[in-house]
């Protein structure tokens, strides 16, 4: 049996917020993903998933790396939830 798996999907929502404050800065990332797995040979959708995830952090100093980390955490959690 020959089959080819196609993985596709979309990022339906993506929100990244960083608020400078005293005494801490807040970071928040939110994402909504749609994931589709399909059999290209049979032309059938095998699996479909829609998930949302978010991540937040309070820290005493601003860092672009911390902001990227929150986005990575939210994205990773959403992918894990899909499966």
In order along the chain (83 residues), what is the average pLDDT of each group of 10 residues? 84 92 90 94 93 93 87 91 85
**How confident is the model at residue 61, as a pLDDT?**
83
Domain residue extents for the chain = 5-82
**How confident is the model at residue 1, as a pLDDT?**
57
**How confident is the model at residue 63, as a pLDDT?**
84
Domain 5-82, CATH class in plain words: alpha beta
- Least Cα distance to 36 among 66, 57, 6 occurs for 6
Please spell the DSSP secondary structure of 2-41, one letter per residue: ---EEEEEEEEEEEEEEE--SS-EEEEEEEEEEEEEEETT
Which 8-state DSSP code applies to residue 62?
Answer: -
CA–CA separation, 55 vs 83, rounded Å? 19
**How confident is the model at residue 64, as a pLDDT?**
86
Q: What H or E segment, with its residue span, contains residue 68?
A: helix 64-82
């Amino acid at each position: 049996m020959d089959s080819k798996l196609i993985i596709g999907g979309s990022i339906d929502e993506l929100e990244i917020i960083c608020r400078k404050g005293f005494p801490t800065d807040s970071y928040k990332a939110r994402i909504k993903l749609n994931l589709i797995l399909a059999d290209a040979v049979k032309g059938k959708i095998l699996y479909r998933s829609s998930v949302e995830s978010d991540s937040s952090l309070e820290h005493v100093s601003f860092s672009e790396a911390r902001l990227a980390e929150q986005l990575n955490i939210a994205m990773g959690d959403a992918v894990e939830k899909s499966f």
